[in-house]
Amino acid sequence: MFPLMVMLYVQLRGVPLAEFDNGVNQHKWVIILLYLLYVLLWVRFNRQVLAFLEQRRR
The pLDDT of 15-24, averaged and rounded, is 72
Cα 58 from Cα 56, distance rounded (Å): 5
Single pTM value for the model:
0.62
Q: What is the DSSP letter of 14?
A: T
Sign of CA dihedral 13, 6, 27, 18: negative
pLDDT (0 to 100) of residue 24: 63
Cα 6 from Cα 9, distance rounded (Å): 5
Identity of residue 10: V
The pLDDT of 2-17, averaged and rounded, is 82
For the chain, the domains span 2-57
Q: Give backbone dihedrals phi and psi of 52, rounded to 5 degrees, phi first.
A: -65, -45
